[in-house]
């Protein structure tokens, strides 16, 4: 909405502000459209709105907030698709069990009817020859039941094996939904789940742990000067170096863009500082060769130790504030919130 000057004339908002809002609006629209079918009336209206926005302002590549919005919608779609697929598989398993039980009931009912007829025939038999014939008929029915039982056992065993395989596939699908495909470390959805668990366990067991926020220094320069392909290599390399630098009990997550989070279990501020310093120095040792240039990569780290008053948000904000302090103090260093 345009403001008015003292003379009553409308004053348009700054161009940079309009473009930023336009870019964020496009990110939201594209995220919403992904979750709808193309023939959905609302999807068509959103497409029209996107066209209007694109005509009004210059749309540039997504900013950090724009990427977060896009990642949010992608996670929601991924979760929805996973749940839909999971329901289909579970339904299939249930249908198999139901059909097997129906087959069992059907076979049992036929056996009961035939045996009843045999009993009635034996009661009304007048000669030994008739009884012998009925005996053979009865034995035939028993053989059928035995064969049906073997067949049913095989079906149930096959169903058990299939159930185990399906359960493993579900576990693999769920695990894949929590891994960042570029860096092959846990993603932000996994971080959100783990943080809730860690906060809950701290309130129960009172064991200290730390949260580190890692941000790659001058990452925009890698993308702008050398291309996004090299930027992706930097992200992969940093993720791998950090993963190899932390303990088995610690975990690394890609939070978004060039930002990572590391959760250090069972540490005080002194040990957390030592581990953070180790990560910082290991990343500093690495470098990339681009043409004739040798490119160095460094990171800035902010950390905080959990306290009784912390929530997931407050702990993150303390570590984030410390990380920006490390940036402002020259980068390639760590700052712990004390």
Q: Which residues are annotated as catalytic?
A: 258
| DSSP-derived 3-state class of residue 235 | helix
Which residues have C-beta within 8 Å of that of residue 250, sequence separation ≥ 6?
A: 262, 263, 264, 265, 275
Computed from CA positions of residues 290, 277, 303, 209, in that sequence, does the dihedral angle turn out positive or negative?
positive
Scanning the structure block, which residue is given the tokens 């193309």?
Answer: 38
In 5-148, DSSP assigns E strands to: 10-11
Sequence-ordered alpha helix ranges (H) in 125-182: 128-176
CA angle (263 as vertex; 260, 269 as ends), nearest 5: 115
Which residues have C-beta within 8 Å of that of residue 318, sequence separation ≥ 6?
A: 304, 310, 337
Q: What are phi and psi of 206, to 5 degrees?
A: 60, 30
**Do 259 and 214 touch, CB atoms closer than 8 A?**
yes
Scanning the structure block, which residue is given the tokens 């709808």?
Answer: 36
Query: What is the spatial distance between Cα 318 and Cα 211, in angstroms, rounded to a whole number?
Result: 9
**Do 274 and 215 touch, CB atoms closer than 8 A?**
no
Q: Which residues of 128-152 are buried (b: 16+ CB within 10 A; e: fewer)?
A: eeeeeebeebbeebeeebeebeeee
Scanning the structure block, which residue is given the tokens 């079906």?
Answer: 155
């Amino acid at each position: 909405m345009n403001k008015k000057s003292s003379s009553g004339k409308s004053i348009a908002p700054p161009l940079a502000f309009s473009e930023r809002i336009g870019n964020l609006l496009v990110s939201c629209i594209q995220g919403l459209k992904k979750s709808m079918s193309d023939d959905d009336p609302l999807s068509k209206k959103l497409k029209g709105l996107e066209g209007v926005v694109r005509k009004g302002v210059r749309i540039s590549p997504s900013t950090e907030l724009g990427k977060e919005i896009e990642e949010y919608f992608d996670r929601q779609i991924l979760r929805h698709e996973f749940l839909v697929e999971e329901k289909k598989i579970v339904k299939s398993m249930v249908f198999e069990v139901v059909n097997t039980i129906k087959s069992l009931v059907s076979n049992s009912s036929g056996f009961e009817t035939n045996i009843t007829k045999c009993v009635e025939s034996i009661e009304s038999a007048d000669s030994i020859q008739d009884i012998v014939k009925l005996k053979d008929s009865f034995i035939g029915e028993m053989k059928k039941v035995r064969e049906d039982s073997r067949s049913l056992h095989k079906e149930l065993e096959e169903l058990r094996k299939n159930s185990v395989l399906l359960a493993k596939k579900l576990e693999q699908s769920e695990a894949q939904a929590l891994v960042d495909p570029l860096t092959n470390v846990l993603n932000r959805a996994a971080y959100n789940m783990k943080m809730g668990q860690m906060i809950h366990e701290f309130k129960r067991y009172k064991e200290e742990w730390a949260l580190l926020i890692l941000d790659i220094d001058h990452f925009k320069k890698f993308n702008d000067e050398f291309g996004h392909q090299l930027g992706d290599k930097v992200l992969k390399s940093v993720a791998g170096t950090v993963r190899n630098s932390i303990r088995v009990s610690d975990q690394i997550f890609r939070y978004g863009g060039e930002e990572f989070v590391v959760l250090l279990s069972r540490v005080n501020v002194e040990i957390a500082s030592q581990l953070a310093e180790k990560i910082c120095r290991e990343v500093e040792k690495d470098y990339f060769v681009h043409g004739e240039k040798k490119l160095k990569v460094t990171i800035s780290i902010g950390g905080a130790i959990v306290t009784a008053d912390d929530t997931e948000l407050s702990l993150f904000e303390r570590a984030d504030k410390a990380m920006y302090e490390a940036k402002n103090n020259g980068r390639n260093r760590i700052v712990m919130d004390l």
